């Protein structure tokens, strides 16, 4: 069971950072571990992944070559300013609601918000909260369908 939960955690981190796949796939671990434990571990994994993504995005923004390229390209600068304005206007609440869409691979959305956002804890909490709610609803739906069959 511990290995299953570790793999669920690792997969959840991966869905934020690298894997463009739906997070509901982690519910396959409920065959070995209790549903509440899988949901808790996956939500924590997604929060850790979101924070790591934000941390690396912040470091990337400070990279000198990227700043030089950004300063030279006027269209890129304009796009970045619009994106930053949009991200800081809608922020974590919008991310929370986007992440509630079932089956939505959210890696691209996470990258945009990590690169252009300013509040890492709000970002990580929005990802964790939406993941917990989405996984709980999916788990209850699966459980309901199995009990009805």
pLDDT of the residue at 8: 93
* 32 secondary structure, DSSP code: T
Cα-Cα-Cα-Cα torsion 74, 80, 83, 89, nearest 10 degrees, comes to -110
Written in H, E and C, the secondary structure of 39-105 is HHHHHHHHHHHHHHHHHHHHHHHCCHHHHHHHHHCHHHHHHHHHHHHHHHHHHHHHHHHHCCCCCCC
Are residues 10 and 26 in contact, defined by beta-carbon separation less than 8 angstroms? no
Per-residue pLDDT tens over the stretch 31-54: 889 989 999 999 999 999 989 988
Q: What percent of the chain has pLDDT over 70?
A: 91
pLDDT of the residue at 149: 63
**Residue 54 CA: distances (Å) to CA of 12, 57, 112, 127, 139:** 16, 5, 10, 12, 28
Band the pLDDT of 105: cuts 50, 70, 90: low
Q: Which residue, 123, 104, 125, 126, is CA-closest to 115?
A: 123
């Amino acid at each position: 069971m511990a290995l299953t939960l570790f793999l669920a955690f690792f997969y959840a981190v991966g869905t934020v950072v690298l894997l463009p796949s739906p997070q509901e796939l982690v519910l396959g671990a409920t065959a070995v571990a209790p549903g509440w434990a899988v949901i808790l571990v996956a939500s924590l994994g997604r929060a850790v992944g979101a924070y790591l993504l934000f941390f690396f995005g912040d470091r990337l923004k400070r990279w000198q070559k990227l700043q030089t390229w950004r300063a030279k390209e006027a269209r890129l600068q304009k796009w970045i300013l619009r994106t930053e304005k949009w991200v800081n206007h809608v922020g974590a609440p919008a991310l929370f609601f986007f992440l509630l869409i079932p089956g939505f691979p959210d890696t691209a959305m996470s990258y945009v918000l990590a690169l252009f956002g300013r509040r890492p804890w709000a970002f990580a909490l929005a990802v964790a909260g939406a993941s917990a709610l989405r996984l709980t609803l999916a788990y209850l739906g699966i459980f309901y369908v199995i009990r009805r069959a």
